[in-house]
Amino acid sequence: MADKKNKTAGKHKLALTHIDVKGEARMVDVSAKPATERVAVAEGQVVMTKATLDLIESGNAKKGDVLGTARIAGIMAAKRTSDLIPLCHPLALSKVTLDIEADRRIPGCRVRASVKVSGPTGVEMEALTAVSVACLTIYDMIKAVERGVRIEGIHLVEKKGGKSGHYLVTDTASEP
């Protein structure tokens, strides 16, 4: 419940901000919060065979430009996050950058989104949504070629701004 605080890792007190005292979901009121510059970065990857990665890099995928299409899909998704995630505030995003690169060591594609806003609430969900939809788009465009494609490791990498300041992930299992 919102009025109960839990101790986590002995140093943080956390409460679920989107749950009221009755245990019901609610949208947080951010009307009294000042607009500040906020940035969030998220990343993930799509794992595939080297042969499928070769097909993407050559531009010969049956559905077209896989990376370009995924980039646009991720940007569009960031802008539509509040339509997809019920309690997210609609935000006028200042900038969305989506970087997708082929990585032969995986083998697969690394996807990284950076989202910026001047507003009363953060853009972590927008960055995570951008990465998720870009990865799903890659999957959709190559699933006919390879059934074993995997989407992995979608997580927040960094956030800046707001009252919580700067947060940089050093380990995906770490606490905020």
135 labelled binding-site residue: no
Residue 88 is assigned to a ligand binding site: yes
By C-alpha distance, which of 163, 152, 162 is closest to 117? 162
Active-site residue, selected from the candidate residues 29, 83, 140, 171:
140
128 is in an annotated binding site: no
User: φ and ψ at 86, to 5 degrees?
Assistant: -55, -40
Instruction: Tell me if 87 is assigned to a ligand binding site.
Output: yes
- Burial code (b: 16+ CB inside 10 Å, e: under 16) for 58-92 equals eeebeeeebbebbbebbbbbbbebbeeeeebbebe
Our answer to whether residue 140 is catalytic in this structure is: yes
Is 125 assigned to a binding site? Answer: yes
Residue 19: exposed, middle, or buried by beta-carbon count in 10 A (0-12, 13-18, 19+)?
middle
Q: Which residues are annotated as a binding site?
A: 87-89, 125-126
Q: Which residues are annotated as a binding site for substrate?
A: 87-89, 125-126
Active site residue ranges: 140
